[in-house]
Amino acid sequence: MIDADFLPCFGFRFLSNGLGDTMIKGTLTCAALLSALTLAACTSSDTIRTSANTAIVRTSAAPVCGGMGAARVAQQQAAIETIRAGFDRYMIVDMASANNVQVVQGPGTYRHSGTYNRGFYSGTTTYQPGMPMVYGRHEQAFAIYMFRNGEPGAHQAVPAREVLGDKWQELVQAGRVNTCM
């Protein structure tokens, strides 16, 4: 297992800015590995308690996660915060999302070759486009209302432990979700 705190969250900029053109050629397996590692660690969340039974959960996710990945992480983070606050269920009462992900074509390279024969020159110039650079984040925010089992309205709320699944205790102990997978 990779320690998520160790990996930097650069999205795909890490792939295109960190390596030179000569190193990228023929290294698709390395690029695939790096993008998988990037996916594994590039989410962050924070929670603001607004009252004894309400909170705002904000999540930011790498471009590769997409908007739904950010929403899944926010949902899991809301469940974690619900349990940590001593509640059993939560209801999302408001939400907001943002997407500022952009793709920019990186600079390319030109190669020129030619021959000179009997006073004539014949040349060819080839343009190799640069790697696309993806940057930005998917943002998600949920306002949640938390319930204890048996309270009025709790039957309509989402069970926090069900959202987290069988390993809910480990996730609550860690206090955060690091991956959008």
DSSP codes of every residue in 133-174: EEE--EEEEEEEEEE-TTSTTGGGSEEHHHHH-TTHHHHHHH
The Cα–Cα gap between 94 and 36 comes to 32
pLDDT of 29 higher than 80: no
For 153: left if phi > 0, alpha if psi spans -120 to 50, otherwise beta; the answer is left
Run of H or E including 21: helix 21-24
Mean pLDDT calculated for residue range 131-144: 93
Mean pLDDT calculated for residue range 44-56: 95
pLDDT band at 176 (very low <50, low <70, confident <90, very high): confident
Q: Which residues contact 163 (CB under 8 A, 6 or more apart)?
A: 75, 76, 78, 79
DSSP letter for 107, please: P
pLDDT of the residue at 101? 92
pLDDT of the residue at 114? 92
pTM score = 0.68
pLDDT of 37 higher than 80: no
CA 120 to chain centre: 56
Long-range contacts of 15-23 (CB under 8 A, 24+ apart): 15/131, 16/106, 16/130, 16/131, 16/132, 16/133, 17/133, 21/109, 21/128, 21/130, 21/131
CA 97 to chain centre: 14
